[in-house]
Chains A and B, each alone.
Chain A
Amino acid sequence: MKLLRKACILVMTAAVIFSSGCSLESKYDCEFFAMDTVMTINTYGSKSESAVKAAQNEINRLDKLLSVQKENSEIFKLNQSKKMTVSEDTLTLITRSKEIYTLTDGAFDISCEPLIREWGFYSGLENKVPSQKAIETALEGVGAEHIKIENSTVTLDDNTSLDLGGIAKGYASHKAAEILKDNGVTSALMSLGGNVRAVGSKPDGESWSVAITDPDDNSKSIGTLKISDKAVVTSGGYQRYFEENGQIYHHIIDTKTGYPADSGLKSVTIVSDDDALADALSTALFVMGLEKSEEFYSENSSLFGAVFITDKGEIYVTDNLKDSFMSEQGFEVISV
């Protein structure tokens, strides 16, 4: 009995001391697997748990709808039948993708599926360097002109197939963020397999700090961005690649050549209010290379900001991000 009382008092004292060190803000974290990658949602506030569940359900729903590989997805069925009336989400995304195709002069292209398949970047396939002939055949169906939209019916040319992998995660994080906001969450941070989305700012009102992965050592980072209420998406050749005969082939295919983009960049990070745009542009600008991207930025600087890492390891930052980017290494600023 006596010992019990002693123990109680000890525990209580300890509790008082330690609880004073913690913030009273409630926090709810969730980690799950969807869209072939690990997703985490961290939220602050009282109503977080149900909100996170709803966001997670939405991401899973979109995964089932937009996946190239899941046999029941709309995209899978569309790729099989080449003509189909699609749901609102799918229609929105395909329309948006065509717009971004035009905006980026074809650097972002969802009709890249046949090429990705040739290179073996789908699970269950083996990575290999395709023959020149195979690439030429695949290229025949590539290009937004092979995708036609009438009302809510999408028609693809015979050798055209779609892969929304370059924009689906961005769209999903946008939808998930909306659900969190609708459920009263004012402070949250999501990572959908390296696609980061901030809802509001940190509970203490400060900006979130988002690190950018070092392309040469993925356990490290090359700098951090201070952002709130924005999406941060990085595309890099380091994320998925294979080696054949001493040559490295990564997963970002330039749809003009049919080969992995060789544009002198190691990674491109896009910061934008628009998640889907950020997702698509990170791929597009990676394909374009630094010089074209600078041009593109001067025409579209209101839409996004970007951080480029070149093959030589230099960092270039667009001027609208220069105050929110920090790095131990020096960096060049790209002006409009």
Chain B
Amino acid sequence: MKTKKLILTAILTAFALVAFVIEGAIPPLTPIYGVKLGLANIFTLFALYALGTRYAAAVMSLRIVLGSIFTGQLVSFIYSLSGGLLSFLLMILLKRFFPLKQLWVLSVLCAVMHNVGQLAAAVFMTQTLAIAYYLPVLILSGIIAGAFTGLCAQLVLMRIAKIQYKN
């Protein structure tokens, strides 16, 4: 059983990495840091609901570390990490309030938190408060991106659950 979960974790991490790299290769929609879909989160959310907190943490942290190395963007590491940590804390804190049917809600909350965390890190690193003007855009983009990735994970998980019931 444990081995199965480990393998699944590895596969999900690989998927997440691929999604991350592909997304990074697409030119950004807007010249604003943090406005992106965050496709890799689909796999973190999937791991959280299918495997549990510890496995999700593994998928997430491995993805951040390896992703930063693969894309050569070590700078974004610190921003990614600060946003990632915040949103992950929120994720495990709130997970028990959101059944599978409301996975997308949790995803939105986490995505927003992720963007807010990243922005806070950016304000801190550059010591320039003016960047906080981007807060509304980042909350908006967090809601959209969070809903999208959340729904992706939720729909897949619900399908899988159905199949399992049938068997």
Q: Which residues of A come within 8 Å of B, CB atoms?
A: 2, 5-6, 9-10, 13, 17, 21
Contacts and interface: CB of A to CB of B under 8 A. Distances in A.
A2 B102 CA distance: 13
Contacts of A6: 94, 97
Given A17-B116, A17-B120, A10 B109 contact: yes
A169 to B, nearest CB: 33
Given A6-B94, A9-B93, A10-B109, 13 more contacts: A2-B97, A5-B97, A6-B97, A9-B94, A13-B90, A13-B93, A13-B113, A17-B86, A17-B116, A17-B117, A17-B120, A21-B120, A21-B123
Looking at chain A's contact residues, the main secondary structure is helix
16 contacts: A2-B97, A5-B97, A6-B94, A6-B97, A9-B93, A9-B94, A10-B109, A13-B90, A13-B93, A13-B113, A17-B86, A17-B116, A17-B117, A17-B120, A21-B120, A21-B123
A119 B91 CA distance: 72
Contacts of A21: 120, 123
Interface of B: 86, 90, 93-94, 97, 109, 113, 116-117, 120, 123
B118 to A, nearest CB: 12
A9 B86 CA distance: 14
Contacts of A2: 97
Contacts of B113: 13
Nearest to A12: B93
Contacts, number: 16
B77 to A, nearest CB: 21
Contacts of B90: 13
Q: 7 closest pairs, A vs B, by CB?
A: A6-B97, A13-B90, A2-B97, A9-B93, A9-B94, A6-B94, A21-B120
A21 B90 CA distance: 19
Contacts of B97: 2, 5-6
Contacts of B109: 10
Contacts of B93: 9, 13
A6 B109 CA distance: 11
A17 B124 CA distance: 13
B86 to A, nearest CB: 7
Nearest to B132: A21
A8 to B, nearest CB: 11
A100 B93 CA distance: 70
Contacts of A17: 86, 116-117, 120
A21 B120 CA distance: 9
A275 to B, nearest CB: 32
Nearest to A3: B97
A10 B89 CA distance: 12
A9 B92 CA distance: 12
B31 to A, nearest CB: 25
Contacts of A13: 90, 93, 113
B109 to A, nearest CB: 7
Nearest to A10: B109
B137 to A, nearest CB: 18
A21 to B, nearest CB: 7
A21 B93 CA distance: 22
A17 B123 CA distance: 13
B100 to A, nearest CB: 16
Contacts of A10: 109
Contacts of B120: 17, 21
A262 B73 CA distance: 63
A2 B113 CA distance: 21
Nearest to B89: A13
A2 B94 CA distance: 11
